[in-house]
Amino acid sequence: MEPNQLTIVIQGGYYSEVTEQVIASVRENLPGAKIIYSTCDPEVPETVRTCDQVIVSRDPGGYHYEDRITEKENNINRQIVNTLAGLREVQTPYTLKIRSDFLLTGNSFLGYYDRYPQVDEQWRVFKHKVLSCCYYARNPRSELPYPLHPSDLVFFGRTEDLLKLFDIPLMTHEQAYWNMKDIMQYQYVPEQYIFINCLLKGGHPFDCQFYNDCRPVSIEQTERYFASNFIFLDFEQFNVQPTKKAFSMRIHPKAFQSCYTHAEWVRLYHDYVDPRQEAPTEDAERKRIEELYRRYRKYRFLANLCALPFRTKLLRRKIRNNLLEFFLR
């Protein structure tokens, strides 16, 4: 694959210094490829103008997950607007979509693109499989049973396939606050919303009515779609490095427990698509996640004990989280 066949769409808000490092990391590891930075931030500093193209879209806003001032926003519509605006400007056959807070550390991920070529035509969505990340690709057989939930952190594939994935309607207020009786109010979480709407637009069957509608039929559909349309890679395989502590496995191992590993995806590929593919018998990544989680539980207990003397719940949580992060780092 020649550099002139590839465009990188850096998508997301501007993070002081970090976003410039992302741009520099892309230049270093994919020299000669075109870079498009697509954002909803109204004030883009001149330092990002080193990209070949900068697109600033109107901010569609976000939805709060809960009715609390401190609750973070669901930024699904920003991601759709940013990514789609960037993809529509791409003139090369291949695109890497990466967040504006993820560094690129290499280009060996390209070697995975044709490594698992077989598909089950009944479950094909894309012209060619799309590289995606293991982390935050939820396993519906886990303790966090979210079906049809691929990771949206980074994608690589044919530009037409990424357009198919992101050329979808924005999430409506009714969908964001689908069930006001529950703590989690949305019908689908962002990752599900993207993929399910892609399926819906393409007329592909799916049987998932809400975010944890994890019946046997939705589990099987998830596994068949994932085996025939994605290749899940971990951060090291994908040559990406998050800059936020929220994506640190050492600090937040529980968030990774319900995610697929690359070996688990290969087993799906073996089971549903290509029985000739050797199924892994060992999974070092799963062992690492479980070991880090055991360590996390031990230090969380100690941090909770240390935080007990403090008066308010908010202060106890802050003390606990700071101590826990200190122990784990």
Structure confidence by residue, pLDDT tens digits, 198-254: 999 999 999 999 998 989 999 999 999 999 999 999 999 999 999 998 898 988 899
Asked whether the predicted pLDDT for residue 180 surpasses 90, the reply is no
Whether 320 is in a domain gets the answer: no
Q: Would you say 257 and 293 are in contact if contact means Cβ atoms under 8 Å apart?
A: yes
Q: For residue range 9-31, list pLDDT tens digits in order.
A: 999 999 888 999 999 999 999 99
Q: Would you say 100 and 12 are in contact if contact means Cβ atoms under 8 Å apart?
A: yes
Between CA 94 and CA 47 the distance in angstroms is 26
Between CA 269 and CA 275 the distance in angstroms is 8
Q: What are phi and psi of 62, to 5 degrees?
A: -135, 175
Asked whether the predicted pLDDT for residue 68 surpasses 60, the reply is no
Whether 36 is in a domain gets the answer: yes
- The more confident residue out of 311 and 24 is 24
* Rounded (to 5) percent helix, strand, coil in the chain: 45, 15, 45
Between CA 231 and CA 268 the distance in angstroms is 10
Whether 272 is in a domain gets the answer: no
Residues in the chain: 329
Of 26-40, 133-147, 257-271, 307-321, give the lowest mean pLDDT range: 307-321
Domain count, the chain: 1
CATH number of the domain that 228 lies in?
A: 3.90.550
Domain span at 81: 3-244
- Locate 53 and state its tokens: 């193209």
Between CA 83 and CA 25 the distance in angstroms is 19
Whether 255 is in a domain gets the answer: no
User: What integer best gives the mean pLDDT of the chain?
Assistant: 92
**pLDDT band for position 44 (cuts 50, 70, 90):** confident
Whether 265 is in a domain gets the answer: no
Whether 102 is in a domain gets the answer: yes
Between CA 178 and CA 272 the distance in angstroms is 33
User: 0.85 exceeded by the pTM?
Assistant: yes
Q: What pLDDT score was predicted for residue 183?
A: 56
Whether 295 is in a domain gets the answer: no
Angle subtended by helix axes 284-307 and 262-272, to nearest 10? 140
Whether 27 is in a domain gets the answer: yes
